[in-house]
Amino acid sequence: MNIPLEIKSWTVERRREFHRYPEPSWHEVKTAARIEQILGELGIETRRVAGTGVIGQLRGGQPGKTVGLRADIDGLQQHEETGLPFASENPGFMHACGHDAHIAMLLGAAKLLAERASSLPGRVLFLFQPAEELCQGAKAMIEAGALEGVHAVFGIHVWSALPAGKVSIEPGPRMASADIFKITFKGKGGHGSAPQEGVDTIVPAALTVLGLQSIVCKELDARKPVVLNVGQIHGGTRFNVIADETTIDGSVRCFDPEVQDLIEEKVRRVARLTAEAHRATVELEYSRACPVTVNDPGLTELAQRVARRELGEACLACLEPVTGSEDFSFYASKVPATYAFLGVGNKAKGTTYPQHHPCYDIDEDVLEYGVKLHVAFAEAFLRGENSV
């Protein structure tokens, strides 16, 4: 598939436009409005869902199945340090995870598919999703009916750890689940010189932090990866005052739903028993932010075949499962889906900074590859190149 030069340059322009105006999760107001405007200019029907989510619908010239193509649209609350001429003009916010590229690639695909609509069977839904960084947007889109009548979903994430132009599309678990916990220890304040008169919460909180780490190395199957991180601890007001309340916040990531269940029970047990041993009480909030992202084997094989055909036999690279999390997992838990990592790393262009780094940037030459993958996957699926 040859991407016309006009669409290549147009896609780069759109990426720079959206990069310049990042907006945080659930506040992608101008971003969503601009996406609607562009899709409308392409003759694609749109509807607004989940606040700032946008669904574009392209009807083919013949009846058939429906495929969803997804891009996330939110930026990060982070100061940009790239020095790009199109750097963020919204102070304190930037597109440090590549969502600007995701928007641009999907819009480029929409532009090309709109030109081919008459020859397409079925429908293409363009799912522009808010609040991925909070792991909330996909679920809200689904609850608003985004997957009604959809037979398959495809998504792409640009990835600086992969060389520019390489693609990783593997079957099975690809990104970890994400659980978030907050543990609050409550005791009794007093003077630090008279500990017997109070109930200190700093000590059980500190011991719980250590105890949580032992869950991973002493209570779980070492063959099943788990990451348990305590990111915050807050307690006390002064050096000589017994802290009557201390909180710790953290997250848990894994690739196995059964392990996910085990960990929650163990976190609750460690916190409760440690608090009891030190005369404190405990309150625990434990939430499942998103499940494991699992690629459907059949769709993944189709995506690999499409990638080799469009980008060359050598384009595929094997990327180990990522312990970061993605709410694309909610789509994959409802309908067959597959998620690809598209390499944008290029040392010569300074695009090897990791996601969420203030200097994060992409090799823009890769944008046309994302357009190709979206278009070719949609066409291949709708024309029945697989059996899903």
Measured distance CA(204)–CA(186) in Å, rounded: 10
Exposure string of 164-190, with b = 16+ CB inside 10 Å and e = fewer, is bbbbbbbbebbbbbbbebebbbebebb
The domain made up of 5-175+292-382 has a fold known as Aminopeptidase (3.40.630)
pLDDT (tens digit per residue) in 51-86: 999 999 999 999 999 999 999 999 999 999 999 999
Residues 6 or more apart in contact with residue 53 via CB below 8 angstroms: 32, 127, 128, 129, 130, 137, 140, 141, 144, 146
Cα–Cα dist 237/239, whole Å: 7
Domain ranges of the chain: 5-175+292-382, 178-290
Distance in angstroms (rounded) separating the CA atoms of residues 234 and 201: 10
Whether 5-175+292-382 and 178-290 share one fold: the answer is no
Structure tokens at 199: 């109930």
> Whole-model pTM?
0.93
Per-residue pLDDT of 302-331, as tens digits, reads 999 999 999 999 999 999 999 999 999 999
Q: What is the identity of the amino acid at 85?
A: P
- CA 320 from centroid of its chain's CA atoms: 16
Name the class of domain 178-290.
alpha beta
**Contact residues for 175 (Cβ-Cβ < 8 A; gap 6+):** 292, 293, 321, 322, 323, 324, 325, 326, 328, 329, 339
> Per the structure block, which two tokens stand in for 328?
């694309």
At 367, the amino acid letter reads L
> Where does the pLDDT of residue 387 fall: very low under 50, low under 70, confident under 90, or very high at 90 and above?
low
Region 239-268 average pLDDT: 95
385: pLDDT confidence band, cut at 50, 70 and 90? confident
State the average pLDDT for the chain: 96
